[in-house]
């Protein structure tokens, strides 16, 4: 297991992730606040009403609960992660009437095809050993008319980008070329593909046609 994956499994990180780690590192990487990322996630996923949401690699549930608060009726959000310490924090810090958490591997989702109205994975594909398999799994469980959204690293060819790639390869974080996710989405028949670049991160969303 590489350094990045070991770090994500550490109880000490789970304890500080939502309040300190994520706000600081993601602000440095993207120039964006967690509040802005959360609001944009609700918009990108078209969340409302009785939708069923799957938040892959949910960490301590810091997005899962927020996403669930945009729902009503029979709507719910499930957060899936492999890290027991992260899930323990999720249950403690981000429980709610429309939220559930599940331990699992993003590369083999324990769900039938096409059952979620919205599927997302924020800040994690660069940690997952086979991120393309994980993205294919997200698409597989997405219902017709559903929305998918990811946040991942992206390649920047300037000195800051070169430095971040060196740190990334040392620690086990992957840096993706810009066209990987839009191309993969298009190959799987997704439409309305939108990609936004913020410093070292890319935000990509799309729809599965009805
Ligand atoms: C940086 S946290 C992201 C948390 C949250 N999504 C966010 O945006 O703040 C990355 C999470 O990915 C999880 N993770 C990494 N590989 C995974 C896999 N193969 N399956 C499920 N979760 C995984 C880690 O356990 C960790 O909780």
Question: Could you read off the pLDDT of 179-191 as tens digits, one per residue?
Answer: 999 999 999 999 9
Tokens 């994520």: give the residue. Answer: 22
**Cα–Cα distance measured from residue 2 to residue 203, given in angstroms and rounded to the nearest whole number:** 25
- Summarised one tens digit per residue, pLDDT across range 19-64 is 999 999 999 999 999 999 999 999 999 999 999 999 999 999 999 9
CATH of the domain at 173: 3.40.50.150
Q: Tell how strand 191-198 and strand 142-153 pair up.
A: unpaired
- Summarised one tens digit per residue, pLDDT across range 83-139 is 999 999 999 999 999 999 999 999 999 999 999 999 999 999 999 999 999 999 999
Per-residue pLDDT, 6: 81
Residues with CB under 6 A from ligand 1: 8, 22, 57-59, 62-63, 81-83, 86, 105-107, 122-124, 127-128
Choose the residue to mutate in 32, 63, 81 for probing ligand 1, maximizing ligand atoms within 8 Å of C-beta. 81
Higher pLDDT, 159 or 10: 10
Choose the residue to mutate in 7, 42, 54, 57 for probing ligand 1, maximizing ligand atoms within 8 Å of C-beta. 57
Per-residue pLDDT, 170: 65
Per-residue pLDDT, 8: 82
Structure tokens at 44: 């990108």
Overall number of domains in the chain: 1
Q: Give distance in angstroms: CA of 122 to centre of ligand 1.
A: 8
Dihedral (C-alpha) 173, 178, 182, 188: value to the nearest 10 degrees? Answer: -60
Give me the percent of the chain exceeding a pLDDT of 70: 91
Contacts of 72 (CB under 8 A, 6+ apart): 49, 50
Residue 161 has a CB neighbour count (10 Å cut-off) of: 16
Range of the domain at 124: 3-207
**Using an 8 Å Cβ cutoff, are 46 and 69 in contact?**
no
The Cα angle at residue 17 between residues 52 and 95, in degrees rounded to 5:
40
């Amino acid at each position: 297991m590489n350094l990045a994956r070991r770090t994500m499994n550490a109880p000490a990180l789970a304890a500080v992730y939502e309040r300190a780690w994520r706000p600081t590192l993601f602000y440095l990487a993207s120039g964006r606040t967690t509040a802005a990322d959360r609001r944009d996630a609700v918009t990108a996923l078209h969340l409302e009403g009785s939708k069923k949401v799957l938040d892959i690699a949910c960490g301590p549930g810091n997005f899962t609960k927020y996403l669930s608060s945009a729902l009503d009726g029979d709507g719910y959000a499930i957060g899936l992660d492999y890290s027991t310490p992260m899930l323990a924090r999720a249950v403690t810090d981000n429980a709610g009437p429309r939220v559930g958490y599940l331990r699992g591997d993003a590369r083999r989702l324990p769900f039938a095809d096409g059952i979620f109205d919205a599927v997302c994975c924020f800040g994690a594909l660069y940690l997952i050993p086979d991120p393309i398999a994980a993205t294919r799994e997200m698409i597989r469980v997405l219902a017709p008319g559903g929305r998918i959204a990811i946040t991942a690293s992206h390649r920047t060819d300037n000195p800051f980008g070169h430095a971040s790639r060196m740190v990334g390869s040392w620690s086990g974080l992957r840096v993706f070329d810009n066209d990987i996710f839009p191309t993969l989405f298009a190959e799987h028949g997704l439409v309305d593909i939108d990609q936004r670049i913020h410093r070292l991160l890319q935000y990509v969303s799309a729809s599965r046609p009805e």
